[in-house]
Every structure is written in C-alpha cells, then in structure tokens.
A and B are shown apart, each in its own frame.
Chain A
Amino acid sequence: MTNIQAGTGAAVAAAPVSADVPAIELDSVVKEYVSHGEVVPAVKGVSLSIAEGEFFSLLGPSGCGKTTTMRMIAGFEEPTRGTVRLRGEDVTNVPPNKRDVNMVFQSYALFPHMSVWENVAFGLRRKKVPGDEIKRRVGDILEVVDLVGREKRRPKEMSGGQQQRVALARALVNRPRALLLDEPLGALDLKLRQAMQIELKRIQRDVGITFVYVTHDQGEALTMSDRIAVMNDGLVEQLADPREIYERPATKFVAGFIGTSNLLSGTVQHVTGATAVLALGPSDRIVIPADGTASTGDAVDLTVRPEKITISTEQPVGDLSIVRGTVAEVVYLGTSNSYTVVLADGADITVFQQNAHDSTITAGRGDTVWLSWQPRHSYALR
C-alpha cells in the first residue's frame, strides 16, 4: 500500500497562514471496513497537514474516501491505522463529543423539535457555558449568518438556504478549532449555491476558523479553497492550491476530473536542455518542459487545457507545440466556440476559442486545421 504524501510530485503550495502547529494533521491514516468477510479499504493511507485558518477542500468523486476522511477528523470513524492530530494533540481514539471540531452535515441534521435559537444554543448548553454568555454568543452568530428575527422558527418552517445557515451557526457558535463541512451546498439550487459560496468564504474570513470542506464539485473547491486535496480511490492524487491544481494537474485522474482537458500520449524523440520533443503523427511536434528524467524513447502521457490551444487554417510557425487534425464538430457556446478536432492517431482534442472580437467561426466541419500551444501549457502526467 503506497502512502501518498501531501503534495507529492507537484510543488507544495504554501499554507496561507503560518503557524507552528497545524490545526489538523493526518498521518498515514487508513480506514478499512469489513463487509461479508472481506476487507474493503475506504481510505488507503492519507497524510496531510492543514494550517490554522486555512480553507482546505477534499475534492473527489463519490466513493473516493473524502467523506470517510472527514468523518475520521470529526471522530465518527476510528482509523484502522494511522494518527489524527488536532493542534498537535493525538485524538485518534477520542469520541466526537470530546473533540473541539464541529461539523456541518450534508442534510443539515438540524434538531427538528427545537427552534432555531435552541438548535444554535445546543452545543454551548452541553459545554455548560453560562446563560448570559449563551444569549450573547447565539445572538452574535445569528447576526453573522443573517438570521436575526427568526430565532423562534422551527427548521421545517425555513427554506433550504436558511436551514443551511442555521447549521452553520450551530457549529460556528462553539468557536471550534476547525469547522468540517460535508457537501453543505449540495441540496441548494445553483443560484443559491453560488451566493452561499461567497457567503461561506466571507464568514470564514470573518471568524478566522479553519474550514475543511468536502465536495465533489470542482467549481466550488476552486472558488473557495486556499488548498485542495484531490482524492481518488482512497488516496490523495494531488495537494496544491486551486491555480496549481487547474494549471498543472499532476496525474491523469486530476487532469480528467478538474475542468475539461485533452489527454495525449506520445514518445520522446529527443531532449534539448529544458525541453523534450514528442512525436504523435508525421507533421506533429509537441514540446514539453522536461523534468530531467525524460529520455529518448519514453512513452509520455500529457495534458493541455482547451482554452490554451489556438486553432488556425494555416500552419503556424515558431517554437510551439503543433498538431494537425480534422474538425469533427463546432459548437457555439455564447462566450466561446468549442471545436472537436480529430488527430491523425484518432485522439479527440477539444479547443475553446473566445468570442472576444467577433464570433466568426475559424473552421467548419471537415476542414483541416492546425492546433498550437505554448510548451509551458502542456505537462507530462504521472
């Protein structure tokens, strides 16, 4: 079982707030379930370190282990192996009610028999905070989430967005070391979701608490996070800041999961200084940055984003990556045109062309075109 260290391969993005002790640390955490006598691994060895005040996302498809990882931080699941530390303190076997982290559940999980005020006060009451302090803190947090005047409402009398904010207030009022959010916007419609993304980010800045955010929505993760851990099949594929994740995906999985990307493969023809030149077809030439390990004859997978590619009907010149193909489809998308181009080896390439100046279509179906991009926009993938 391999143990993927945080940021393996790609450069590790610096945590935004410097602190001596990380808010949350996972050390080679493994979670296995036994089902019908068979051991089923959900998390196969995750190590990461989340800094104080950071907005950290666990991103991945369903079943990738992101929720299990979060539930181990919350204490709802005990790791099969490995250590969970909060501010340096080993809490691996500490039950959730004794951990100074709070969770916002996917379905909110508000107490249906209590008013908004009682819901929010629940944690403080259990911690035996004095009554007048509870009153003050509940009042303050309801102001932060903009729910003043709705204290006496029942959860079922409120909209999804309002329930979401109650769930947020109920967790934040305890001033936890970290707030764990499990797909908190999943049940909201698109408009509200976008509004809540901005709202969440604002609240996080205001209260300065570490947020750990679980989502399968790459847009959400890219918008809000300081750093993202992309998970797949129980392992962290890449851990970096949003720009790095998008611009320089480390693995095939990350390239495919985040945004639209084109996957190509070729063989290294020769290495010149800092670049390696690959060949696909007879008139094709791809130049990529060489990391020093590439040598002639290596098979390499690489990716290039659709918006980095220029499409033209004449062969471009210069030190570019250039491939030739035939237009299979042109789709008008409003702000851009999307071309699907088939290369000589049968690979499909998607190209976005901005409608910046005029919406003229460069080429139609069946036309032969050249695609070109800067060498620094394509990378070899692990």
Chain B
Amino acid sequence: MSRRLRAALTPYALIFPGGIWLAIFFVVPMVVMLSLSLQSGSVEEGYAFAWNWHSYADGLSNYHDQIIRSVIYGLASTVIQIIIGFPVAYWIAFKGGKHKSLYLFLLLLPFLVSFVLRTISWQFMLSDNGILLGPLKSLGLLPEGFRVLATPYAVIGGLAYNFLPFMVLPMYVALERIDPRVLEAAQDLYASRFQTFLRVVLPLSLPGVFAGVLMTFVPATSDYVNASVLGGTNTTMIGNVIQNQYLVTQDYPTASALSFTLMALLLVGIFAYAKALGTEDVLEVAAR
C-alpha cells in the first residue's frame, strides 16, 4: 500500500470501531423504535407495522401535561445549577490555588456512588419524619403536615443535585482558561472588580455555561428516576410515562412515539438555543 493511500485511509480506520459501535447500538435501536412507534394493535393481540401515526397524536394529547412539566422541571433545575455551580466553578478556578484538583475531586466524589442510590438517600433524608424534617417538626419549627417529598421541589432539587458536576465542570474549564493578565488589564483600564467580572469574566465564561446547560438540561428533562423516587402522583415527568408504557402497560407504539416526540422537542430547543446564544456576537454584546 502506498504511503499516500495509507495516510488517506488512516482516519477511516480510526473511526471504524466507534462507527461500528454507534451503528449497532445507536442507529439500529433508533430504527427499531421508529418502526415500533408506527405499529398498531394491542398487548393481547400483538402489534404489527401499519404506518400508524396515531400514536404520536394520541401521545401528545394524552401526555402534554407531563411533557410541559418535564421541560419546566428541566429548566428550573438547570437555572438552580447555574446559580449554585457558577460560584463553585469560579472559586475553584480562581481561588483554588494548588489544590484545584483536590476540590474538583471532592466535587465528583459523591458521583462515584450510583445515581439511583444517591437519589434514594435523598428520599431518606427528605422523608416526612426523617433526619431533616423530624427534629424540626418535634421542635415545633415546622408544622406537622409539612412535607418536601412528593412535591415538585423535591424532584427539581434532586435533578439539580444529580447533574451538578456536568454543569460545574464545563464552567470550570472555561473560567480556568481565562488568562489572569486579562483580568489585570481590565483593572488597569479603570474597571472595578464588579465591572471586570461583568465585562470580562462573565462573557469569557459563557461558552462553559452554554456547554453546561446542554449537558444538564437534556438529561434532566428526560429523567425519570428523580420523579419516581422523590416525586408523587402530581410530579410525573414524561420519562416516567415512557417507562410505564414500555414496562408496565407494554404499549410499545405509544412509548416509542413519546420518546421520538421528546427527542424532537429537545433537538428543536437545543438548536434554537445554540442559534441564539452560541455565537461570539453574544459575547461581544455581553461585554459592552
């Protein structure tokens, strides 16, 4: 094989294992799910492919409440993560000094424990007479009927907690990359500390916030673990519906159709978001 030919083939050879993996475990299931979503029939009689688009219409009309709720919970948890995560990322990046790696490790430490187990421990902590609420109630600081579990707050809180590192890490990377001399330059050019933050640090950290939102909003919106462990009947998210349709009702067409609907919604949302915020012009406007 000539050297030139080999050089031309090398990239394809490198992408081959990953490409095959994705083809088998991503593309094939997607096609299967698409065909499932177009079947008609019932659990008793079995399902058959029939170009049946009704599942989409039915799914939307029956479960639009859960879809809207999921998006609201996803957004709320993302906003909470930005508010909590940004100062953490900022502190580690600028004040962490020699121990930056240690602080990052501490941030990630709880995440060495299984996602489900962490959520269950939240359930344990937040239970109506548990270690948090119990003492407060016996001291009379909280009314006897007060509860957190099975409310939207518990679900949103759980979502915010569970995806926090995926928000903090990209923000940290963006902040850490800022040249400290650029901050000195801003100060030298008469900017106060607050103005330096507003005009320089914040705009330069936006790519990290942008990436963090992408990495947390999508999984939070389609999550079902937090709603099923920490939520109640009024906090059902679309993920719970899909899981229920697949595993309990075994209505595969509706479950598949809902999955595709959710995916399409998230894709449209992300593209709109990227279009609006993903360009450098935004940074310049923010810096003015």
Q: Which residues of B contact A114 (CB under 8 A)?
A: 284, 287
- Rounded to whole angstroms, the CA-CA distance of A53 and B67 in the bound complex is 69
- Rounded to whole angstroms, the CA-CA distance of A105 and B180 in the bound complex is 11
Q: Which residues of B contact A113 (CB under 8 A)?
A: 200, 203-204, 280, 283-284, 287
Question: Is B104 on the interface with A (CB-CB < 8 A)?
Answer: no
A176 CB to closest chain B CB (Å) equals 9
Question: Is A103 on the interface with B (CB-CB < 8 A)?
Answer: yes
Question: Is A102 on the interface with B (CB-CB < 8 A)?
Answer: yes
- Rounded to whole angstroms, the CA-CA distance of A171 and B188 in the bound complex is 9
Question: Is B250 on the interface with A (CB-CB < 8 A)?
Answer: no
Is the CB–CB distance between A123 and B182 below 8 Å? no
Question: Is B215 on the interface with A (CB-CB < 8 A)?
Answer: no
Question: Is B185 on the interface with A (CB-CB < 8 A)?
Answer: yes
Is the CB–CB distance between B189 and A170 below 8 Å? yes
A177 CB to closest chain B CB (Å) equals 13
- Rounded to whole angstroms, the CA-CA distance of A148 and B287 in the bound complex is 22
Give a binary string over B201-223; 1 marks a CB under 8 Å from any A CB, 0 the rest: 00110000000000000000000
Known contacts: A109-B179, A112-B204, A113-B203. The answer to whether A96 contacts B284 by CB under 8 A is no
Is the CB–CB distance between A122 and B189 below 8 Å? yes
- Rounded to whole angstroms, the CA-CA distance of A341 and B181 in the bound complex is 48
Q: Which residues of B contact A154 (CB under 8 A)?
A: 280
Question: Is A262 on the interface with B (CB-CB < 8 A)?
Answer: no
- Rounded to whole angstroms, the CA-CA distance of A118 and B189 in the bound complex is 12
Is the CB–CB distance between A123 and B190 below 8 Å? yes
B256 CB to closest chain A CB (Å) equals 44
Question: Is B101 on the interface with A (CB-CB < 8 A)?
Answer: no
Is the CB–CB distance between A111 and B184 below 8 Å? no
Question: Is A174 on the interface with B (CB-CB < 8 A)?
Answer: yes
Question: Is B244 on the interface with A (CB-CB < 8 A)?
Answer: no
Is the CB–CB distance between B190 and A111 below 8 Å? no
- Rounded to whole angstroms, the CA-CA distance of A107 and B188 in the bound complex is 15
Question: Is B4 on the interface with A (CB-CB < 8 A)?
Answer: no
Give a binary string over B272-284; 1 marks a CB under 8 Å from any A CB, 0 the rest: 0000000010011
Question: Is A357 on the interface with B (CB-CB < 8 A)?
Answer: no
Contact size range, A: 20 to 34
Q: Which residues of A contact B182 (CB under 8 A)?
A: 109-112
Q: Which residues of B contact A102 (CB under 8 A)?
A: 188-189
- Rounded to whole angstroms, the CA-CA distance of A174 and B186 in the bound complex is 13
Is the CB–CB distance between A111 and B181 below 8 Å? no
Is the CB–CB distance between B195 and A111 below 8 Å? no
Question: Is A126 on the interface with B (CB-CB < 8 A)?
Answer: yes
Known contacts: A97-B191, A126-B190, A126-B191. The answer to whether A109 contacts B185 by CB under 8 A is yes
Tell me the chain A residues, 8-57 only, with Cβ under 8 Å from chain B.
none
Give a binary string over A98-132; 1 marks a CB under 8 Å from any B CB, 0 the rest: 10001101110111111100100011011100000
A105 CB contact (under 8 Å) in B185, B192, B199: B185
- Rounded to whole angstroms, the CA-CA distance of A123 and B188 in the bound complex is 8
Most buried by A among B181, B185, B283, B287: B185
B151 CB to closest chain A CB (Å) equals 41
Q: Which residues of A contact B287 (CB under 8 A)?
A: 111, 113-114, 118
- Rounded to whole angstroms, the CA-CA distance of A113 and B280 in the bound complex is 7
Question: Is B187 on the interface with A (CB-CB < 8 A)?
Answer: yes
Question: Is A76 on the interface with B (CB-CB < 8 A)?
Answer: yes
Known contacts: A118-B284, A118-B288, A126-B195. The answer to whether A111 contacts B200 by CB under 8 A is yes
Is the CB–CB distance between B184 and A109 below 8 Å? yes
A115 CB contact (under 8 Å) in B184, B185, B284: B284
Q: Please, which residue of chain B has its CB at the minimum distance from the CB of A98?
A: B190
> Which chain B residues have a beta carbon within 8 Å of chain A's beta carbons?
179, 181-182, 184-192, 195, 199-200, 203-204, 280, 283-284, 287-288
Beyond known contacts A109-B184, A113-B200: 8 more, CB 8 A cutoff = A76-B187, A96-B184, A97-B192, A98-B190, A109-B181, A112-B182, A122-B191, A126-B191
Could you jot down 25 A-B contacts, CB within 8 Å?
A76-B184, A76-B187, A76-B188, A95-B187, A96-B187, A97-B187, A97-B188, A97-B190, A103-B184, A107-B179, A109-B179, A109-B184, A109-B185, A111-B200, A112-B204, A113-B280, A113-B283, A114-B284, A118-B284, A122-B189, A123-B190, A126-B190, A126-B195, A127-B190, A170-B185
> Sorted from nearest, which 7 A-B pairs have the closest CB atoms?
A123-B189, A109-B181, A126-B190, A113-B283, A109-B185, A96-B187, A103-B188
